[in-house]
Structure 1
Amino acid sequence: MVLTHPRIGADLRPSTRPGAGTGTVGPDNRRVRSSLHTPLCDLLDVRYPILNAGIGWAAGPELAAAVSNAGGFGVLGGGSSPIELVAARIAKTRSLTSAPFGVNVIIAETDPGDDVLLRDLIAAISELDVAAIVLFWGDPTPYVDAPHRHHKKVLIQVGSAAEAKAAVAAGVDAVIVQGFEAGGHVRGTTSIWELLPETVR
């Protein structure tokens, strides 16, 4: 693919230098940042701020690895599966990519003792070869410390501005805002076009 920068009219090709990261290299060998470069790219060490949804078994190793290999951040579906299954899926994903990827964990506490099981699961995942844990459907507060101790990022998907603010207060590294247009498990109750501006104020 050949890219042309609209202001300088130069032929820009994606950098092939090892560890080049985001952006492209112009005719004078100086880095030109991609217009898709955002702080999330720096946080997750990816080229594009694009994540796939970690939808249960549908978001398997092949999908997560493909997204990461294309420059996004692949998210492996973990749900609340036993650690043995999650570890095997992480190992399979790692065999398909050397790029960063994460694991999705649903933190809905529906039965007594769920909080303990989830803390143990997240602590165990935190020791494995993943860059981040992506949480969904609950309060992230009890689940932030273990990943951070292992230098893993914590993201959470939320459905309201109030949840986003509470998640930031809990210490998450990034918030994913979900409107009611989303598929799968839907936590959002308003349109993303209303919720997003309210969240980033």
Structure 2
Amino acid sequence: MFASTPLSTSFTRLFGIRHPIVSAPMGRGAPPELVAAVTNAGGLGGLGLTWDSPQRIIELVNKVRQLTNDGPFLANFVLEWDQRERLDAALSAGARIISFFWGDPARYIDHAKAAGAKVVQTVGTPEEARRAVELGVDVIVAQGNEAGGHVWSRLSTMVLVPLVAEVAGKVPVLAAGGIADGRGLAAALVLGASGALIGTRFLASPEAAYHADYKQRLIEALATDTVESMLFDGGWPNAPGRALRNRTVQIWEDAGRPKPGSRPGEGDEVGLTPEGNIIRRYAIASKLSGGTGNIDDFVIWAGQSVGLVHDIRPASEIVTGVVREASEILARTASQT
């Protein structure tokens, strides 16, 4: 009954999609194939473009548009760096949903909107959410500290989402951090969100670009196996991130958590990218399919929701499974009141 029933919210109506699910724009780990699979399943795929060249951005956007038959998707930029040139490339290639993270989007919003794009902003406090509304963003992502990868907020998702929803008004809010199944989506909707942005669960899919060793670690991990630190800073210093504890984390902890410059094995070559580029210990880059090296030497980005991930599943099945479970929970709850 619920498998084909969409959960209509202000977010799904804004973008004309069936399901209130967004796949997190997880850099190279979320290639066009994953983005398109989520969009084609009725959600909204997320494409991370922060570190790509303008020409590469055009290629990636065109690939997603081709795979989705011009379906909607989200193009993301981290504002730790100037993104004007990259944003121009994405807009010129046809990206029409632009999301920003880790900084003030004020100088980019008008430019994106002038090109006909909707703007999504990730926040970590209700104060940030209030400013985002004043700036005219179309959607707010409330990312709790449980999230994997780089984390902006000090608050948990359970606390942050209702606080943000209170100040967002009519602007749709997406909950992010700690969500991997229909229970999480249902909870997010009850808390006042209009949908969920999901990362870790989508990394355990055939479409994700991470190496099979990486995905196996996700399946095996407990929620308590994640650790937040600034350890993996090669390419992005002074930014806290959540990853799985592995040998690299352990040797650093055993050494007393020394600061950059005196960490064990710092600068060691630990592997290669699929293109043959060197990856060094403590870099933000992890092991991709086609790359080389021992997974214990790389960062393994993952949120606390990793404890809910038990298998590799196609992204389309993840979308429909999450929606089906959330629909059943909400219907069951409604019938009991």
- Determine if the TM-score, normalized by the shorter chain, exceeds 0.5: yes
- Between the aligned partners of 1:44 and 1:185, the Cα distance in structure 2 is 26
| Partner of residue 18, structure 1 | none
TM-score by length of 1: 0.77
Match of 1:105 among 74, 77, 87: 77
Q: 1:141·1:171 contact (CA, 8 Å) conserved in 2?
A: no
C-alpha separation between the residues in 1 aligned to 2:129 and 2:88?
Answer: 23
Name the residue aligned to 1:190: 155
Contact 2:35 2:73 in 1 (8 A): yes
- Whether 2:141 is the aligned partner of 1:141: answer no
CA offset digits 1:21-44 (Å, max 9, x no partner): xx5xxxxxxxxxx3x111111112
For the pair 1:83 / 2:54, whether they are aligned, the reply is yes
Q: For residue 28 of structure 1, what is the aligned residue in structure 2? A: none
Q: 1 CA distance for matches of 2:138 and 2:51?
A: 21
Query: Could you say which residue in structure 1 is the equivalent of 2:205?
Result: none
Asked whether the 8 Å contact 2:55–2:89 carries over to 1, the reply is no
TM-score, with structure 2 as normaliser? 0.47
The residue aligned with 1:154 is 119
What's the Cα RMSD here?
1.5
Letter in 2 for 1:45: G
Deviations 1:13-66 (A, max 9, x none): 85xxxxxxxx5xxxxxxxxxx3x1111111122111110010111111000000
Q: Is the 8 A contact 1:77 1:104 kept in 2?
A: yes
Q: Counterparts of 2:123 and 2:95 in 1: how far apart (Å)?
A: 22
- Which of 59, 62, 69 is matched with 2:33 structurally? 62
Matched letter for residue 59 of structure 2: A
Q: Percent same amino acid at aligned positions?
A: 38
Larger RCO (CA within 8 A; separation ≥ 6): 2
Residue 65 to residue 40, structure 1, CA distance change in 2 (3 Å): same
Deviation string 1:131-182 (CA, Å, 9 cap, x unpaired) is: 3011110001111011111111110111111111111111111100000000
Give the AA of the match of 1:72. Answer: G
The structure number with the bigger radius of gyration is 2
C-alpha separation in 1, matches of 2:130 and 2:55: 33
Judge conservation of contact 1:154–1:172 (CA < 8 Å) in 2.
yes
SS in 2 for 1:200: helix
Give structure 1 regions of 4+ aligned residues with deviation exceeding 6 angstroms: none
* 1:94 paired residue among 38, 50, 65: 65
Cα distance in 1, alignment partners of residues 156 and 90 from structure 2? 33
Residue from 6, 11, 15 that aligns with 1:44: 15
Query: How many angstroms apart in 1 are the aligned matches of 2:89 and 2:149?
Result: 26
Deviations 1:91-118 (A, max 9, x none): 1112211221121111114xxxx3xxx1
As a proportion of its length, which structure holds more helix?
A: 2
Structure 2 Cα separation of the partners of residues 156 and 139 of structure 1: 9
Tell me by how many angstroms 1:123 deviates: 2.6
What amino acid maps onto 1:38 in structure 2? T
Q: Give the whole-Å Cα distance in 2 for the aligned partners of 1:131 and 1:37.
A: 21
Q: Measure the CA separation in 2 of the matches of 1:80 and 1:158.
A: 21
Letter in 1 for 2:20: P
* Matching residue within 127, 130, 134 for 1:169: 134
Structure 2 unaligned spans of 5+? 167-337
- 2:94 is aligned with what amino acid? D
Aligned residues: 165
- For residues 112 and 37 of structure 2, the distance between their equivalents in structure 1, rounded to whole angstroms, comes to 24
1:181 corresponds, among 119, 125, 146, to 146
